Structure 1
Amino acid sequence: MKKQTWKSLTISLLVMIVVLAGCGKSSEESSGDNKAAKGKIFKIGINQYVEHPSLDEATVGFKEAIKENGLKVDYDEQNAQGDTNSVQTMAKKMVSENVDLIFANATPSAQASLNATSDIPIIFASVADPVGAKLVKSMDHTGPNITGTTHTNPHAIPKTVAFIDEQTDAKTVGLIYNKGEINAVSQVNSVKAAMKGTDLLPVEATVTTSAEVKQAAQSLVGRADVFYIVTDNTVVSALESVIGVARNKNIPLFVGELDSVKRGGFAAYGFDFREVGYEAGKMAVKVLKGEKKPSELPVQYPKDLRLVINKKAAKEMGVKIKPEWEKEADFIK
């Protein structure tokens, strides 16, 4: 009987030792992974669709988040300058170089990157409609290797349309956009939807390249009481052309983000694109450290929505600042 009892105790003790050894090993492996992440030099490919202040700021924000989290990174930065063929070539190059992660800045860059790989993690930013662009199934259910941040706050367009309707005498809103850019088409459709129930009517002019933007703006003179430029990469990259027409013809120019207000737009309900990029960078850190998979990270959007008005632009476009705006808006002089 005693023999049997000692035998049972011995077996139990051996089991406990094995379990504890396993736990210790698991802990060491986890610690080892973290040390490896800290010591490793990661290679990140940056695929940016076009060069303009908003996208540039998103890239700056992305890098800030990476740096603040102490990761060592070698960046391969590529800019397609608005060329859809180049954006595909860039994505394929990054895949062939077996980068650790791709930061896809803008919708065409994200689509090209996803077409090029189903294995390498992709974190996108500056994408207006990730679901419409077929990057993710939903904002909460992302793809196996892709997630990121959208720059579309659901209240931005409705608030802008409401401001135009209630605070100006405008009846027609001039919309300039690239019909081939899903990002822009989605936003223009949202603008039209927001106009239902108001007295506002959309007046459209479409472009295919930034060289056509000035002519498109001029074609709306006499037809549009105000301009509203959404975050269309093609148009925003040539925003100064629209600003020039708006100034010369006293047409208030509403824009889709704060960087465009700084450049000379009259007003926007928006946020800093650096925040959009920074949030994407935080997501990239979690993926590179092995803490999360892209599929475990829902798409994020900026929540700090602000009305910003450029007083100098208002004067140049014949807009008188109303006292009641002082309570809600931040002003750029």
Structure 2
Amino acid sequence: MNLTKLIFANIAPFLLVLAFGTTEAQQASKVYRVGALFNGRPDVAFETLRKELARLGYVEGTNVVFEARFAEGHLDRLPGFAAELVSKGVDVIATYGGPPTNAARNATTTIPIVAALVADPVAIGVAATLERPGGNITGITNNDPELAAQQFGILKELFPNLSRVAILSDSDIPGADASGLAPIERANVAAARAVGIAPQVLKVRGPTPDFDTAFKAMVGERAEVLVVLEVPAPFRDRKRVAELAAAHRIPTMFWGGASDAGGLMACGTSFTNTYPRVPIYVDRILKGAKPADMPFEVISRREFVINLKTARDLGLTIPAEVLKRADRVID
């Protein structure tokens, strides 16, 4: 062995250690910028993002910085906020709701986006398929294609002679077709008609939704029940919606996880179940995973809640068979 080979053989292990040590040091010194877009104000969703990323080893101010933007009901601000996040050079954007996701995807086709609270990612063009999104967006959805049919089935069982129902939605959700209805609205209209109920779709718009006019229209059309969709304005002001419905003596069906509103019933998957999953997706992307190859996770656990206090206030008796199917009864 000549002198050069002998020297290299002796120092090679140290060079490898130095190289790997440098890589680890670079990774440790990397400060990730995590963007986040919200329809409303700071709440449990943002706190969950921060706390769960901390649990995964991201220390705020040390190896992660948050760039969060809150529209506070002014959804027209979202495109500008999305553009700001892109200009900040964030490594990933977490979006909560259809409008923020739509704003983010219009702002960038390269920065990874983790979407939550999007009713139907495929229907609004966010993903090619749930299994292989194919672009820069993946995430978690509590979309339940069978939910509308289940809700209207329960309503028909509870009110056998039900003939007219109001459906409360939001003008700002994406994906409307030529009829002006977004996918979640079309699903509910179809489910109502399938059981012989005439639907009346009413849309409000934030930040100051005109619920009074919406309820006046319901009363004018003699709506017997109100189905409240999981969309921005009713989502934020669900307790106000429940109060107005009670004042007009209209029974309500809310989405799963909205039993805190005080309506008669809530049925479906819970939006809060999506919150802890977002940081996991963000972490995987920061470690190199590609959104195009990451399937949308579908939250599928349904919850059916009946509020007996509200039923009594409305003078309703809930059949025993319906009560037996409830996962939880509020008394």
- Report how far residue 34 of structure 1 moved: 6.9
Cα-to-partner distance string for 1:134-155 (whole Å, 9 max, x where unaligned): 2111212214321111221223
Q: Which residue of 1 aligns with 2:300?
A: 303
User: Are 2:132 and 1:141 aligned?
Assistant: yes
Separation (CA, whole Å) in 1 of partners of 2:254 and 2:242? 10
Structure 1 gaps, min length 5: 1-9, 15-20
- Report how far residue 207 of structure 1 moved: 2.5
User: Are 2:228 and 1:229 aligned?
Assistant: yes
Cα-to-partner distance string for 1:31-64 (whole Å, 9 max, x where unaligned): 976775555432211110224xxx9444344334
Give the letter aligned to residue 332 of structure 1: I
- Judging changes above 3 Å, is the alpha-carbon distance between structure 1 residues 158 and 36 closer, same or farther for their aligned structure 2 residues? farther
Cα-to-partner distance string for 1:137-185 (whole Å, 9 max, x where unaligned): 1212214321111221223222111101122242211112223422682
Runs of 4+ in 1 over 4 A off after TM superposition: 31-39
Cα-to-partner distance string for 1:210-255 (whole Å, 9 max, x where unaligned): 4312220232025111000111212222333322222123211101
Q: Which residue of 2 aligns with 1:81?
A: 72
- Judging changes above 3 Å, is the alpha-carbon distance between structure 1 residues 172 and 37 closer, same or farther for their aligned structure 2 residues? farther
**Greater mean deviation of Cα atoms: 79-88 or 60-69:** 60-69
Q: Normalising to structure 2: TM-score of the pair?
A: 0.83
User: Are 2:306 and 1:312 aligned?
Assistant: no
Residue 175 of structure 1, aligned match among 167, 171, 187: 167
Question: Are the equivalent residues in 2 in contact too, given 1:41–1:71 (CA < 8 A)?
Answer: no
Separation (CA, whole Å) in 1 of partners of 2:213 and 2:23? 56
Separation (CA, whole Å) in 1 of partners of 2:65 and 2:229? 33
Q: Normalising to structure 1: TM-score of the pair?
A: 0.82
Residue 41 of structure 1, aligned match among 28, 31, 37: 31
Question: Are the equivalent residues in 2 in contact too, given 1:178–1:185 (CA < 8 A)?
Answer: no
- Judging changes above 3 Å, is the alpha-carbon distance between structure 1 residues 49 and 320 closer, same or farther for their aligned structure 2 residues? same
- Report how far residue 116 of structure 1 moved: 1.2
Residue 282 of structure 1, aligned match among 280, 283, 299: 280
Q: Which residue of 1 aligns with 2:323?
A: 326
Question: Are the equivalent residues in 1 in contact too, given 2:127–2:135 (CA < 8 A)?
Answer: no
Identity of aligned residues (%): 24
CA RMSD of aligned residues (A): 2.9
Q: Which residue of 1 aligns with 2:241?
A: 242
Q: Which residue of 2 aligns with 1:199?
A: 196
Q: Which residue of 2 aligns with 1:255?
A: 254
Question: Are the equivalent residues in 2 in contact too, given 1:63–1:278 (CA < 8 A)?
Answer: no
SS in 1 for 2:276: helix
Q: Which residue of 1 aligns with 2:106?
A: 115
SS in 1 for 2:106: helix
Give the letter aligned to residue 320 of structure 1: T
SS in 1 for 2:209: helix
Structure 2 gaps, min length 5: 6-11, 176-180
**Greater mean deviation of Cα atoms: 60-69 or 130-139:** 60-69
Question: Are the equivalent residues in 1 in contact too, given 2:209–2:233 (CA < 8 A)?
Answer: no
User: Are 2:268 and 1:270 aligned?
Assistant: yes
